[in-house]
Structure 1
Amino acid sequence: MSVSKHEIKVTGLGVITPTGAGQHQFTAALKEGKTNFSAITIAYSDQELRFPLGKAADFDFQSSVAAINLDSSVIDKAKRMRNISASTLHGLYCALEAWVDAGLNDADIDVARVAIVSGGSNTQRATLQMTQDKYRGKLQFMNPNYGVNFFDTDVVGVISETLGITGEGHSIGAASASGNMAIVQGYRLISSGEYDVVLVVAPLMDLSVYEYQGFTVMGAMAAIPAEAVPDAVCRPFDNAHGGFVYGQSAGCLILESAIHTARRGKRAYGTIAGYGIGIDANRGPNPSVAGEKNAMLAAIKAAGITPGDINYVNTHGTASPTGDKTEVAAMLAAGLAGVRANSTKSLIGHGLTAAGLVECIASLIQMKGNFLHKSHNLLNPISDEIDWVKDTISITAIDYTLSNSFGFGGMNTSIVIRKN
């Protein structure tokens, strides 16, 4: 069978979410419908501010890296990476896990034909605020690593140094659509013929108190009353939805040309079959039915299929009342009435710039395992025209998935994933 040079395969996955560190833990959590929501109290000035949170699963970087089947030289380089932010540390772990999962650790590849794309901007806010507060009034003693850490591209440099990658590297920002946009950019780099492999990473977006409070006062992040049970706050597409819950997540995909994959004899998780992108000529947070619909239809058309071929939609599904209603209206306008759908954010929260990439990973895991995870807290859906996966896992084969990711500033992205 001939292999098209334009087919882009996913051959490796690495992930950390509130419900698991590593692909195996995350897979088990999706099947179980596991959640891990809590509340965080941040002392600021003379106030104590409380926010809902899906905290990233605890993991020890040193022992976790040592457990990955890496060359000893790579492990040594990774362990020497000190003075890096939590954002970059999580991204590095995911990259190493995906690299090994793709079988690239012991493969004979040209590292000059490997690129790195990082999805996300302003991902290190907590670390930067901590450093700024620590050295306020004594700037002459500031840690010189700050001059490297504050760049979003620090994760690119750390990964390239650890793995010896010498091709292209950069970061790309598109608000909450950054993860999907990074996948699209990786797709384009391989399609151009310049690269055989692209490592697409979404480092953890680590919020400071200013981002927590900013999202809350604008009404995007859910408030958490003193008497509330944290696990009950995140409710995508439920009539009781009241805003998103931040979920600390990071992930990495290895994208590879079909020709390069076949040459290595590597079996893929799936194929990035098409994408659709567009902006709404709007710098605000309010979404657009037309913009989202157009992105979905463009992705479906690029994949060479029809809306009726889509078996499953991994929704953007943040639990913002306006966002949820807009996405449902856009799905219906795109001819997706009756499609099976869930929200991964209902289980792990909203990873912000990492969300789209982590949800693509969740989609690939579900496609491989022939199941759809439950939607947590979806008791009274805002629409009965979508076939929601509610409170129990659904066992089903999935040939085509549509993964949506939308961001402030009218940024609309959709990706079609084909099973193998």
Structure 2
Amino acid sequence: MMTSNKIGITGMGIVSSIGENISSFCNALMKGESGIRLSTSQKEPKISVNIAAELQNFSFLELLNRFQDVPEEKLVNAKRLGRRAPFAIQASIISALEAWQHAQLFQSKLQSERIGLIVAGQNSTQNFQYDLIQKFRENPEYLSPRYALEFLETNQVGVLSELFGINGEGLVVGGASATGNVGIIKGYQLVHSGFADVCVVVGTIADLSPMDIQGFINIGAMGGKKYINQPEKACRPFDKQHEGFIYGQASACIILESLASASKREAPFLAEIKGGSINLDGNSSSDPNKNGEVKAMLSALNQAGLSASEVDYLNTHGSSSALGDKTEADAICDVFGGHTAALRLNATKGLTGHCLYSAGLVEAIATVIQMRQGFLHPNKNLEEPICNDLKFCGAEAINHRIDIAMSNSFGFGGINTSIVLKRD
């Protein structure tokens, strides 16, 4: 991944529980606003934990109508493609439209064959399918013919490629909680390899069914029981009172582009992607592995051509699980050694919850925003740190310059990822 031809981010878009676009998301980060609250879901059966950072009152058409300076033809097509589509598709359309607009691609004439598309997501239609089960049992013929397309993740590829006229390489990637970072790394590799000048990377929303949520509870991965009456306190990355991740919802999109392409369009980099690494533990369990996490961070730094002492800020995986947080803290200490006294650590999940498939993209966007705006967002609910050797961000946002940042994402199945970003 090392190259003299820089690859950077030229556009970003998001719809999340703390912001329906980049501007509102940025403001929420500065204020330390949490999207975690009691769930509004009325589904049966009721599950034992009803705390989440959901997209409440989501209206596809209302959000679509807020876009300005987008060609009318694109808005008409977006409405046609998304009006009756599953929730996950609708959210992807909104975040991708913002990123495409942010990158000034509506004003550019690129060869469609030179644009790639990576959909970072898996199992995004779980709740969509769950809602159809009862009606299907009563009358199987009720099932819409489009269901055969819509339950497949490739539907995201088809819809987004049609909307934006993308005719280059396109695919779906997965990596459990590391899916977003996997998407960024694979998008980077696609541009770096020369198969694309521009790559759209979309992290799909996690629309979990009650059965999926109960499964996470039963495996001991999801928290929320201790703070069932205080939802905003439930997600506690690196705090001694953590008990598991809190489910979050977001769709996020970034536009990756080669320096040659961006320069030709006079489109500025928001940040440069310096390196990224994926490795496996060779382990099918949900347990994290310190050695795998260390290897991912060191490899990302090596590919970026940087030393650990040059990193100013680390956006941790910070899932708020006891074993996950301890393992990551130990891995960070191993990688950064004496530099930990100067390295600022943060956990965006304390505000957004764990957005699962899109988490890596959400956190990369949060990192870029902080780099460009010169601040560090609060590390929510960190009252008793599990480790006193690390310099975690505090309860309030502070001004801070970030030149080099790292962002970690680790997933079930022993998938370890890390990316390195540079302020442009």
> Partner of 1:135 in structure 2?
136
Q: Given the alignment, which residue of 381, 400, 403 partners 2:404?
A: 400
Corresponding residue for residue 423 of structure 2:
419
Cα contact 2:47–2:210 (8 A) shared by 1: no
Partner of 2:289: 288
Distance 1:253 1:45 in 2: 36
Count of residues paired in the alignment = 417
How many angstroms does 1:61 deviate by?
2.1
* Residue of structure 1 in register with 2:25 after alignment: 26
SS of the equivalent of 2:117 reads strand
* 1:317-362 deviation line (CA, Å, top 9, x unaligned): 0100000000000001112522101100001100011100110010
Matched, 1:340 2:344: yes
Distance (Å, rounded) in 1 between the aligned partners of 2:189 and 2:102: 22
The amino acid across from 2:38 in the alignment is A
Cα deviation digits, residues 170-226 of structure 1 (max 9, x gap) = 100111100000001101110111100000001101000111000001110003358
- C-alpha contact (below 8 Å) 1:21/1:58 kept by paired residues: no
1:368 counterpart = 2:375: no
- Between the aligned partners of 1:62 and 1:221, the Cα distance in structure 2 is 32
Q: Is the 8 A contact 2:45 2:210 kept in 1?
A: no
Closer, same or farther: CA 232–118 of 1 in aligned 2, 3 Å: same
**Shift of residue 134, structure 1, vs aligned partner:** 2.2
Partner residue, 1:50: 49
Q: Distance in 1 between matches of 2:41 and 2:372?
A: 40
Read off the aligned partner of 1:265 and give its amino acid letter. Answer: E
8 Å CA contact 2:226–2:234 kept in 1: the answer is no
Tell me whether 349-358 or 45-54 shows the greater mean CA deviation: 45-54
Q: Distance in 2 between matches of 1:45 and 1:318?
A: 27
Counterpart Cα distance in 1 of 2:179 and 2:347: 18
Please list the CA deviations of residues 254-304 of structure 1 after superposition, one character each: whole Å capped at 9, or x if unmatched: 000011111111111101100121100101100001000010000011111
Gapped regions of structure 2 (runs ≥ 5): none
Q: Distance in 1 between matches of 2:47 and 2:164?
A: 42
What root-mean-square deviation, in Å, do the aligned CA atoms of Structure 1 and Structure 2 show? 1.5
Q: Give, in angstroms, the shift of residue 31 of structure 1.
A: 0.5
**Further displaced range: 329-338 or 408-417:** 329-338
- SS of residue matched to 1:319: coil
Secondary structure at the residue paired with 2:417? strand
Q: Provide the C-alpha distance between the structure 2 equivalents of 1:300 and 1:227, rounded to a whole number of angstroms.
A: 40
Hey, what's the Cα distance between the residues in 2 that align with 1:330 and 1:348?
24
Deviation at 1:169, TM superposition (A): 1.3
Contact 2:52–2:247 (8 Å) recurs in 1 = yes
TM-score by length of 2: 0.95
Q: Distance in 2 between matches of 1:219 and 1:44?
A: 22
**Measured at CA, do residues 144 and 382 of structure 1 come closer, stay the same or move farther in structure 2, by a change above 3 Å?**
same
**Is 1:77 the equivalent of 2:77?**
yes
* Structure-2 change in CA distance of 1:227 and 1:178 (3 Å): closer
What are structure 1's unaligned runs of at least 5 residues? Answer: none
CA change 1:177–1:7 in 2 (3 A) is same
The percentage of counterpart residues that share the same residue type is 36
Find the aligned partners of 1:140 and 1:108 in 2 and give their Cα distance. Answer: 45
Contact 1:284/1:409, CA 8 A, preserved across alignment: yes
- 1:409 match: 413
In structure 2, distance between residues paired with 1:398 and 1:334: 19
- Tell me which residue corresponds to 2:180: 179
